[in-house]
Structure 1
Amino acid sequence: MYPNLTGLGITDPKQIERYSLRQEAHKDVLKIYFHKQKGELFAKSVKFKYPRQMKNVRDNSSSQTYKQVTEINRNLTLVIDELNLITKPITSTETDIKQKILSDLKHLEKVVTCKIAEIEADLEKLK
């Protein structure tokens, strides 16, 4: 039912909770988050990088100059269409964005705390 997600190696698309998309240099980075399973501290996620497609387009209709522009990879648009069917994204309001930022900060704090504890435990083993 979701051939593009299956092609990425996602065997159970119904476990997808949400996704994020950002641009880094000449790549689009898609991160897919899965529902947290019982006993897991953090939900699993996978990251995919898609190179942006380069195109030369005429600067304006009267001149012979061209400029290079980038656009989203066609495969990525197909994956996003399938993700939108699964996640049913809703439009965000300002308060939703504030809540998301606070949630992201709390998540980051937990990740950093766990990583520090892990490094300290490794240091204790070396003593």
Structure 2
Amino acid sequence: MYPTLESMGINSFENIEKYTLRYEGGFDVLKIYYRREKGSLLPKSKKFKFGRATRTVLADGGQQQYREISEPSLVVLRAVDELGRLLGQEFEDKQTKEDLLKELDHLERVVANKISELKEKIEKLS
């Protein structure tokens, strides 16, 4: 039914709520969110990182210049296709202003937490 998702260790398809796909640090990051009961010990999400395939192509202009391009992994493309079928939606590689603001807010929280963690470590060394 969903062989790619199963190969990734995903088996509770009925609990999948949504997913996100973003490009971060040279990797495609697929994050799958689950519906969970309050107090559940199961994770609310799972994150998967996929490397990108790079290839060299001849650039236009007749100058014999080459450039490298990166492409998403076939596994992530198949996983997104299966998630789209599972959730009854088609993934659009289009970000809205709201999506970007949410991503920026998330990044700010992650960086603030990391800075706080490093300051605590430094404090312990003093």
Question: Does the residue aligned with 1:85 lie in a helix, a strand or coil?
Answer: helix
Specify the alignment match of 1:21 in structure 2. Answer: 21
Alpha-carbon displacement from aligned partner over 1:73-111 (angstroms, at most 9, x marks no partner): 11110000000012234779x79x48x94xx88xx7xxx
Instruction: Indicate whether 1:6 and 2:10 are aligned.
Output: no
Partner letter of residue 6 of structure 1? E
Check the 8 A contact 1:35/1:43 in 2, yes or no.
no
Specify the alignment match of 1:39 in structure 2. Answer: 39
Give the Cα–Cα distance (whole angstroms) in 2 for the partners of residues 65 and 38 of structure 1: 57
Question: Does the residue aligned with 2:9 lie in a helix, a strand or coil?
Answer: coil
Specify the alignment match of 2:58 in structure 1. Answer: 58
Alpha-carbon displacement from aligned partner over 1:27-86 (angstroms, at most 9, x marks no partner): 111100011224339961100000011011111162311101111111110000000012
Q: Which structure has the larger Rg?
A: 1
Q: Pairwise mapping of residues 1-127 of structure 1 onto structure 2 (< 5 A)?
A: 1-40=1-40, 44-60=44-60, 62-89=62-89, 97=98, 101=102
Where structure 1 has 5 or more consecutive residues not aligned to the other structure, the ranges are 113-127
Give the alignment's Cα RMSD to 1 decimal: 3.1
Give the Cα–Cα distance (whole angstroms) in 1 for the partners of residues 38 and 86 of structure 2: 21
Where structure 2 has 5 or more consecutive residues not aligned to the other structure, the ranges are 114-126
Give the Cα–Cα distance (whole angstroms) in 2 for the partners of residues 15 and 32 of structure 1: 10
Give the Cα–Cα distance (whole angstroms) in 2 for the partners of residues 38 and 25 of structure 1: 33
Give the Cα–Cα distance (whole angstroms) in 1 for the partners of residues 82 and 47 of structure 2: 16
| TM-score (norm. length: structure 1) | 0.66
Give the Cα–Cα distance (whole angstroms) in 2 for the partners of residues 71 and 6 of structure 1: 23
Check the 8 A contact 1:37/1:43 in 2, yes or no.
no
Q: Which runs of 4+ in 1 moved over 4 A?
A: none
Give the Cα–Cα distance (whole angstroms) in 2 for the partners of residues 78 and 42 of structure 1: 25
Question: Does the residue aligned with 2:36 lie in a helix, a strand or coil?
Answer: coil
- Number of equivalent positions: 102
